[in-house]
Amino acid sequence: MKLFIKICGVTNNQDLKELIQLDINAIGFNRDKDSPRYVPLEFLESSGKYFDEKISPVIVFVNEPREGIKKAISYFNQPILQFHGDESQDFCSSFNLPYIKAISMNEKDFLNKIIEFDDAFAILLDSGSKKNKGRYWKNF
C-alpha cells in the first residue's frame, strides 16, 4: 500500500503556497459552514491556480446541496471530494470524481456502512458525532 498524505483545513494563501512545495498528495479545504476552518468560494477560486497534477485538492462537504458542490469543484481540475454528512453512495459517486467518505464510529453499524461505499477512493473513520463532524477527538 502506498502512503497518501493529505493536509486539511487550509484557510489562507500563505499556508497554501508553503504546502504546495511539500512532497504531499493532497491539500484539503473545508466547506462546512459550522467549521472554524470553513473557506468561502472566493478562496477556492483563488486557490485553483496553485494546483497541478502533482497535488490534488480535496474539498470537504457536510450535507452540501448538489449545486453548491458543483460550484466549489469548478475551480479545480480533478479534485477529490470528501463527504462528512449523511450523503448516500449514489450521491457521492454521482459527480464522477474520486471521493472520500467519512463514517462516524459513533454509529452502531459503522462497519456495515463501510461496505456501502465500495467505490470510494478512501474511507475516513470519524470520531465526531452527527452534530460535530470530525471536530473532537475521542480516546479508544
pLDDT tens digit at each of 140 positions of the chain: 688 999 999 999 999 999 999 999 999 999 999 999 999 999 999 999 999 888 999 999 999 999 999 999 999 999 999 999 999 999 999 999 999 999 988 878 888 888 999 999 999 998 765 555 554 433 33
pLDDT of residue 88: 96
Q: What is the pTM of this model?
A: 0.88
CA dihedral 49, 98, 88, 91 (to 10 degrees): 60
Domains observed in the chain: 6-126 (3.20.20.70)
